[in-house]
Amino acid sequence: MELEIRITHNSLIDEAIAKKPYAISLGHEGCLGRLPDLDDLVEAGKRTKIKLVLPKILNHSMTYVENYIRAAAAKLGTLEVTVNDFGTMLRLYDIKGIKLIAGRLLIKAFEEHPLGHLVSERYPEEWRQNILQSCIFSEDKISLLKQYNVVGIEMNIFENTAKALQQWNLNEKIAVHGFFNQAILAVFRYCPHARLNEKLPPDCRCTCERYIPLEYVNNQRDSNLTNSNSCSNLTGILDGNVLMREVKSDHFVKIDRQVALYPEISRGERIK
């Protein structure tokens, strides 16, 4: 099984490469401002295999992203790109040298959500595994992804998803890049890091070098990010505008690549 290291900040490129993984991934599921400078991306790509992670791309940024990807692919020859919306997938799929990976914002599952049990409890026991497992388990969806040059998918390996992976032999149909140590709970439309530091992109990049506990953000503001009754107990770690939770999964199933966040989420590590 290949190992990919997903770094949380571009300053960690040298540290990640020193660990000699199969690949490192740069970028971010929530913020376009976290893309590395093109020269830095190309330089890293000369030393190791690179995957570039994109958030959902708005229309006004699409041309910039397309030009960036075309330039990177032209300089590196080949480049894996994780996309998290279908519009970006459609825009990039025919660029020469690009291999698309469907990101976790496309490959969702109720069991990953902190309130997923509220959904599953509404259905009979025999239905729950199908409801909780990842939404990728559909021949039609896999066929659709492959039509658009998607060669792999990213997904969290939790209990119900792991069972379905074993039953489906999904990695025989499409490459599976699995996360065992953390899950995305939410992506905010604005960035708590930038808000706390009163900065705007691209000047807010430096504020993303550390994780921030959600409770810390809530204590600094009059408005609470989790003030609804249903989410009042929601906790997690913010990496930019992405809320994550550390998950220790022991469901090691047959997949093509393990993706590990670096550094791992920990309340005693890299927290401002």
Q: Per residue, what are the HEC states of 63-121?
A: HHHHHHHHHHHHHHCCEEEEECCHHHHHHHCCCCCEEEEECCCCCCCHHHCCCHHHHHC
Please indicate, yes or no, if residue 267 is contained in any of the structural domains. no
Please indicate, yes or no, if residue 237 is contained in any of the structural domains. no
Domain, as residue range, for 99: 2-181+247-262
Please indicate, yes or no, if residue 228 is contained in any of the structural domains. no
Number of separate domains in the chain = 1
- Kindly report the CATH number assigned to the domain that includes residue 105: 3.20.20.380
Start-to-end Cα distance in the chain: 34
Please indicate, yes or no, if residue 257 is contained in any of the structural domains. yes
From first to last of the 272 residues of the chain, give the pLDDT tens digit: 899 999 988 889 999 999 999 999 999 999 998 899 999 999 999 999 999 999 999 999 999 999 999 999 999 999 999 999 999 999 999 999 999 999 999 887 665 555 566 666 777 766 666 655 666 767 888 888 999 999 999 988 877 677 777 777 777 788 999 988 788 888 888 787 777 777 776 677 666 777 888 776 666 654 445 444 444 456 788 888 888 887 776 666 788 999 998 887 654 344 44
DSSP state for residue 215 in the 8-state scheme: H
Largest CA distance in the chain: 54
Please indicate, yes or no, if residue 204 is contained in any of the structural domains. no
178, 179, 180, 184: CA torsion to nearest 10? -140
Please indicate, yes or no, if residue 165 is contained in any of the structural domains. yes
**Using CA atoms, how far apart are residues 93 and 98, in angstroms rounded to an integer?**
7
Please indicate, yes or no, if residue 25 is contained in any of the structural domains. yes
Please indicate, yes or no, if residue 225 is contained in any of the structural domains. no
